Amino acid sequence: MKIIIVGCGKVGSTLAEQLSKEGNDIVIIDPNYERVQNLSNEFDIMGIVGSGSSHSVQQEAGIEDANLLIAVTASDELNLLCCLIAKKAGNCQTIARVRSPEYNEEVRFIQEELGLAMVINPELAASMEIARLLRFPSAIKVETFAKGRIELLQFRIPENSVLHNMPVSGIPSTLKCDVLVCAVTRDGKVIIPDGNFVLQAADIVSIVASPKTASQFFKRSKIQTNQVKDTMIIGGSTTSYYLAKQLLAMGIRVKIIEQNRDRCEHLSDILPEASIICGDGTDQDLLSEENVESMDSFVALTNLDEENILLSLYISDRCPKMKTITKINRITFTNIIDKLNLDTIINPKEVTAEYIVRYVRAMRNSIGSNVETLYRLVNNQLEALEFNIRENAPMLNTPLEQLKLKKNLLIASIIRNRKLITPRGQDMLMLGDKVIVVTTNTGLDDISDILAE
């Protein structure tokens, strides 16, 4: 597909990298010459220096032949204008990043009236991700497939867990629940395990199961599954507002600590059910005064990555059983951050890029690809994909044990007539099945791509 990306900030750069790796024809537009040059050279893509809201610049980028324009500049209004011009100048789909809470209540009207394929709000998307995790605090990440019938959950094996030193093949017989361990991250390395692989404390494990089976698994392995009762949020940002609003609706008590008095007064007006504290969230005495040790969860959402990291490390050390979530905006030090043993990290820019990449995959599905859903995990080292099995699939009605699959790839689940099947060697893929594939390989477009050449 031909895709034009307007804006070469963190989100635009991430999109350019991911979408170009998947074989799309990418053109980037940004008024900053240095940014355009760097991205063009790094990913071997076309770059144009100029304003994405200019008709002539869009024409130079080839808007007439483009399938999609994605506007992710720092300005909501500029993004909407870029999309409006693209709809008039070409016949392509458009996606706009719109961050202001003022537009959030009107997003459906804006999307329909301007004919946008998608409106993405990074702060709202990040808050939804955090809220989902606080609903299931043992998980590092929760993703769903087949309209919620299947969940992929990531969690860290705690010390003294029954799972420590247990081979993967021993889980069904020991815990009496049929979950499939599809990936393990150990020392920053992603492993697709076989049945003989032995789990260890501190491993980050990805399992695939139905929601009911997943709950049984966590209960029997004595890992907490109930949603938190309360949370402390440090920082009164827009993300904090969206998150607090969702948590209060879920019946979770919310306490926000924010330094700016005007912002505190505004939050008190728009979040009357939340407890708003005006003060420095990095002050240990203040945290103690506000009984941080008694909270079920802690979310660091300041504008400084360093503050968020140090706060989460401090809380994790003091309250090791507490669920902690850390917002990190910069993605250049992921290798170092991964070694800090933080509980859950949220990067709004990556969440935004993931939503958009998922939509692009769905578009490609309509013009040849049969990827229904795509998730990227473990710093994009792992992909979980949902495929539809069609008539021309080369592996139809063949036992899985007879298929020559690519290395580092696992068929994690089969959904047939709304029933979940955990795959075994004698199982076969049949017409109409939905299949979940987990792999460290990238760029799979068709179910046939899982086969070794």
CATH of domain 2-120: 3.40.50.720
* C-alpha distance from residue 205 to each of 199, 326, 345, 371, 423 (Å): 9, 20, 16, 24, 19
Tell me the helix, strand and coil percentages in the chain, rounded to 5.
40, 25, 35
- pLDDT above 70 (res 370): no
Tell me how far the alpha carbon of residue 279 is from its chain's centroid.
31
**Banded model confidence at residue 78, pLDDT cuts 50, 70, 90:** very high
* C-alpha distance from residue 329 to each of 151, 254, 337 (Å): 27, 23, 12
Are β-strands 139-145 and 204-209 bridged in parallel, bridged antiparallel, or unpaired?
Answer: unpaired
Q: Which residue has better confidence, 21 or 244?
A: 244
382-415 pLDDT per residue, tens: 888 888 888 888 888 889 989 888 888 888 888 8
- pLDDT above 90 (res 138): no
Percent of the chain scoring above 90 in pLDDT: 42
Within 8 A by CB and 6+ apart from 428, the residues are 396, 397, 398, 399, 400
Percent of the chain scoring above 70 in pLDDT: 95
Section 75-101 average pLDDT = 92
- What's the pLDDT at 369? 53
Collapsed DSSP state (helix, strand, coil) of residue 207: strand
Residue 124, Ramachandran bin (φ over 0: left; ψ between -120 and 50: alpha; else beta): alpha
Q: H-helix or E-strand containing 107? A: helix 107-114
Average pLDDT, the chain: 87
- State which of 1-10, 101-110, 141-150 shows the largest mean pLDDT: 1-10
Buried b (16+ CB within 10 A) or exposed e, 104-115: beebeebbeeee
* C-alpha distance from residue 15 to each of 21, 116, 442 (Å): 10, 18, 15
- What's the pLDDT at 366? 53
Domains in the chain: boundaries: 2-120, 127-220, 230-346, 355-450
Section 205-211 average pLDDT = 86
Section 276-294 average pLDDT = 94
Looking at 16-25, 84-93, 252-261, 438-447, which range is the least confident one? 438-447
Tell me how far the alpha carbon of residue 324 is from its chain's centroid.
17
3-state SS string for 238-272: HHHHHHHHHHHHCCCEEEEEECCHHHHHHHHHHCC
230-272 pLDDT per residue, tens: 999 999 999 999 999 999 998 999 999 999 999 999 999 999 9
- State which of 166-180, 221-235, 249-263 shows the largest mean pLDDT: 249-263
Q: H-helix or E-strand containing 119? A: strand 118-120
Query: Could you tell me the CATH superfamily of domain 230-346?
Result: NAD(P)-binding Rossmann-like Domain (3.40.50.720)
Q: What is the fold of 127-220?
A: Alpha-Beta Plaits (3.30.70)
Q: What is the fold of 355-450?
A: Alpha-Beta Plaits (3.30.70)
Answer yes or no: same fold for 2-120 and 230-346.
yes
Separation of first and last alpha carbons in the chain: 25
- What's the pLDDT at 34? 95
Looking at 83-92, 132-141, 268-277, 425-434, which range is the least confident one? 132-141
Q: How far apart are CA 189 and CA 1, in angstroms?
A: 32
Section 37-63 average pLDDT = 94
- What's the pLDDT at 334? 66
Tell me how far the alpha carbon of residue 433 is from its chain's centroid.
25
Torsion of CA 209, 214, 218, 219, to 10 degrees: -140
**Banded model confidence at residue 331, pLDDT cuts 50, 70, 90:** low
- pLDDT above 60 (res 367): no
Q: Which residue type is seen at 121?
A: N
- What's the pLDDT at 330? 75
* C-alpha distance from residue 356 to each of 64, 125, 189, 289 (Å): 21, 11, 26, 42
Tokens 């240095």 identify what position? 34
Give the single-character DSSP code of 428. Answer: B
Residue 434, Cβ neighbours under 10 Å: how many? 21
Q: How far apart are CA 189 and CA 429, in angstroms?
A: 30
**Banded model confidence at residue 133, pLDDT cuts 50, 70, 90:** confident
- What's the pLDDT at 396? 86
- What's the pLDDT at 36? 95
